[in-house]
Amino acid sequence: MIFVEKVGLQFGSKVLFEDVSFHLRPKEKVGLVGENGTGKTTLFKVITGKTTPDSGKVVLRKGLRFGLLEQDLEVGRETVLERVVLGDPHFLKVKTEMERLESGQTYHERYGDLQHEFERQGGYDREARAKIILLGLGIKAEKWNQPLDQLSGGWRMRCELSRLLLQSPDVLLLDEPSNHLDLRSVVWLESFLKSYEGSVLLISHDRRFLNSLVSRTVELERGALSVYVGNYDDYERQKQERAELLESQAANQGRKIAEVERFIERFRAKNTKATQVQSRIKMLDKMERVQMTQGTKTIHFRFPQPVRTGRHVLEVKEVSKSYGPLTVYQNFSINFERGWKVALVGENGAGKSTLLKLMAGALEPDEGKIKLGANVSRSYFAQHQGETLNFNHTVFQSLEESAPGLLLTAKRNILGAFLFAGDDVEKKVSVLSGGERSRLALARMLCGGSSVHGNGKPPSLVLFDEPTNHLDMRSREHLAAVLSDYEGSLLVISHDRFFLDGFINRVWEVEGGVVKDYPGHYSDYEWEKSKEVQSVEASSGLAKDLSSSQLNRERKKKEAEERNQRYKNLKPLQKKLAKVESRLEVLMCTNETLQTRLADAGIYEEDQKPRLLETLAEQTTLKAEEKILMQEWDELTVAIEEIESSAENDFSGA
């Protein structure tokens, strides 16, 4: 479906890709992972043609439709629903042309073709499907008619994701799709993508999201792509095994090199051994050294432990809070006790952030009071904390502002723990990436810079609103470990389930101005919710009546017959396509071996001429076979797509 062939790209002196190759198969779901700044987003742009590589090429199947979710969005005046339903240029063109012909009452052959295409694009139920997707991603009906330019960046991102999912392209390229979603929307999206018929290439730092979806994991590291079979957990295990193997190979090679060097030193001065010495010197020069993998950089810190507080850390007593006509809480009360590590969950708009801000003291209640317990100090990390920093300050000045009493060495140690080393501390906040600003904001919080009282002492109550946004996988896991060891109390909103399960000991579910308490880890909460759903379904009498059951059986029988026929038609084509793709991958690997051989200067020496000619001939044969296979691959994928498209049209017209 997509072949990335020996792509190279660099910006100035920074090499992003060097001869990277990759194949995305039809209906495959692949995770693209790597440290922030390695070029994952740029690779998406290369695949979609938005960025031209310096070398290599990207080959797309003929007629391939792809949808790219980007972090930077263009904003227009159209409403949310208009953007989602009419955001496909091809569909909009068909619809507009149909309406033009209808208004002029010019019903001719062209109209019939347009109507057929309109139906193929799901035009008659397109708006209904759009609403289902919008609701699934947490965009409720009251926002559907709002202009996009009146929405925050997070809501616009949800709208853009809804538009892409409705289009149902052959390939979805999703760059951090869960970053702006609440937990329920993440779970819905995960379920949607599991049954998605097209291919998915996914950038994400959410371990559970990746584990649930992907069957292959591709790592971009220091300009090279490495492919691992399986989900993220499989990738980590295989990478560790590869690192151990390389370490063993490097040790063996080191012993061999030391042995050769001893021979050279011992016999360098002896004329009788001159030939052997020169031979070994040439061997060392030509030897390809085993390259050890470099460790991944990650934030490494610990929260200083706070003073012990009383049992009651914070009390919310008879609090009411409204925004204009919208009442979020009415006469609401709840207690927060020492040692509690609570995850706040619920739909967007349920009042999670409002409750967090009230408890943090960042928002005043309309009525009632928020009372801190004995010896309690609190610190608050807002969802966009990194954007509240002074952009004119340097990194060091920003930290110094939050903790002027700390010694210079302590400040540098803290910044180093958050990956700001050397000259990085002199960078202006304005030039930092989103991830770097988040790390700096966390460092300031560690020093007490986000404390409500600003006293610089370790807080005994920490309140987080989406602290993992912009953090990579390793940094998220380290933060979870740190919070697990933290002896104070904390309240956190996060959409990362793996992160939450690492440290929380209870869940508060917010809905309709009420909080329901679930003691235990996040996985315990999920188990309890699944039991509640089963109980509701059992008691609500959802079983169909006899006639409905009969209709369902007939419908399922018809669908099964259609699937069987489609399977009979598709199976030989798919089998042949798999063989072609397998052979293409072998050719790509063989070509890399030949290129490596030709890059060795020794092959151009006079005594190596037969080997050089043999290699060049092999490369010519390989390229000829690759050209034939690529043409066959293109024909097969088009044939398969036509059968699948025909089956979809038959079903929609039934």
Write the CA distances from 393 to 83, 398, 412, 433, integer angstroms: 39, 6, 16, 15
DSSP 206: -
Contact 207, 99 (CB under 8 A): no
Q: How far, in Å, CA of 159 to CA of 148, rounded?
A: 9
Question: What is the Cα Rg of the chain in Å?
Answer: 30
Which pLDDT score, from 0 to 100, does residue 334 have? 94
Which pLDDT score, from 0 to 100, does residue 29 have? 94
Break the chain down into helix, strand, coil percent, rounded to 5.
50, 20, 30
Q: How far, in Å, CA of 391 to CA of 372, rounded?
A: 33
Which pLDDT score, from 0 to 100, does residue 500 have? 92
| Residue type present at position 262 | R
Phi and psi of 331, rounded to 5°?
55, 50
Strand partners, 511: 514
Contact 189, 139 (CB under 8 A): no
Burial annotation 621-636 (CB, 10 A radius, 16+ → b, else e) = ebeeebeebbebbbeb
Exposure on the CB side of residue 354, measured as CA atoms within 13 A: 25
Which pLDDT score, from 0 to 100, does residue 454 have? 43
Q: How far, in Å, CA of 476 to CA of 405, rounded?
A: 29
Instruction: Residue 447: count other Cβ atoms within 10 Å of its Cβ.
Output: 24
CATH among 3.40.50.300, 3.20.20.450, 2.60.120.260, 3.30.930.20 for 312-536: 3.40.50.300
pTM assigned to the model: 0.69
Q: What is the mean pLDDT of the chain?
A: 82
Strand partners, 218: 32, 227
- What DSSP line would sit under 421-490, residue for residue? -GGGGGSBGGG--HHHHHHHHHHHHHTTTTBSS---SPPSEEEEESTTTT--HHHHHHHHHHHHH--SEE
Q: How far, in Å, CA of 565 to CA of 28, rounded?
A: 23
Residue spans of alpha helices (H) in 217-311: 232-267, 274-286
Q: How far, in Å, CA of 212 to CA of 204, rounded?
A: 12
Contacts with 550 (C-beta within 8 Å, 6 or more apart), sequence order: none
The domain spans of the chain are 312-536
Contact 491, 356 (CB under 8 A): yes
Contact 465, 382 (CB under 8 A): yes
Relative to beta strand 489-493, strand 461-465 is parallel
Residue spans of alpha helices (H) in 126-182: 126-136, 153-167
Q: How far, in Å, CA of 173 to CA of 43, rounded?
A: 10
Q: How far, in Å, CA of 59 to CA of 584, rounded?
A: 13
The three-state DSSP-derived secondary structure of 356-367 is HHHHHCCCCCCE
Low-confidence ranges of the chain (pLDDT < 50): 449-455, 542-548, 648-654
Q: How far, in Å, CA of 479 to CA of 473, rounded?
A: 10
Which pLDDT score, from 0 to 100, does residue 364 have? 93
Both tokens of residue 287?
């030897």
Contacts with 245 (C-beta within 8 Å, 6 or more apart), sequence order: none
Q: How far, in Å, CA of 620 to CA of 642, rounded?
A: 34
